[in-house]
Amino acid sequence: MTDVTDVAEVTDVTDALFDSEVLEADLPVLVKFTADWCGPCRQLEPVLKALAEEERGRLKIVRIDVDRNPGTTVRYGVLATPTLMVFRAGEPVKSLVGARPKRRLRQELEDVTAPVV
């Protein structure tokens, strides 16, 4: 079993930090729109932690609580949790709704984690 301290973290962002942490990031950023009461969101957490470790240096992963941060939630039209949205160069480039296994998520993210040529 992997010690949690050895795993790259999925960090929390807020409405106030969203622009600086996501839109101005040098790397593509996967944002998980989540809520404390959301069961599928909790199921997705270990998948995203593993992905954060594997994609370190190529993809940044953050989460934002939809109940505590309604501004960003409304701004991007998020209607369900979990919603995963990938931002590159300040623009949303992909949106996925619902939990999924790591293998499937990795496949769905191949086009945004691949190096830009």
Q: What global pTM score does this model have?
A: 0.89
8, 30, 31, 41: which is the annotated catalytic residue? 41
Beta strands in the chain (DSSP E): 11-12, 29-34, 60-65, 83-88, 91-97
**What value does the mean pLDDT take over residues 86-95?**
96
The answer to whether residue 38 is catalytic is yes
- Amino acid identity at 70: P
Tokens of 111: 């086009």
Beta strands in 21-109 (DSSP E): 29-34, 60-65, 83-88, 91-97
10, 13, 30, 38: which is the annotated catalytic residue? 38
What integer pLDDT is reported at residue 112 of this predicted model? 82
- Give the pLDDT band of residue 7 (cuts 50, 70, 90): very low
CA distances from 5 to 1, 9, 81, 101, 104 (A): 12, 8, 27, 22, 25
Given a cut of 60, is residue 20 above it in pLDDT? yes
- Give the pLDDT band of residue 116 (cuts 50, 70, 90): low
Can you name the CATH fold of 4-107? Answer: Glutaredoxin (3.40.30)
**What value does the mean pLDDT take over residues 108-116?**
77
Neighbours of 46 (CB within 10 A): 14
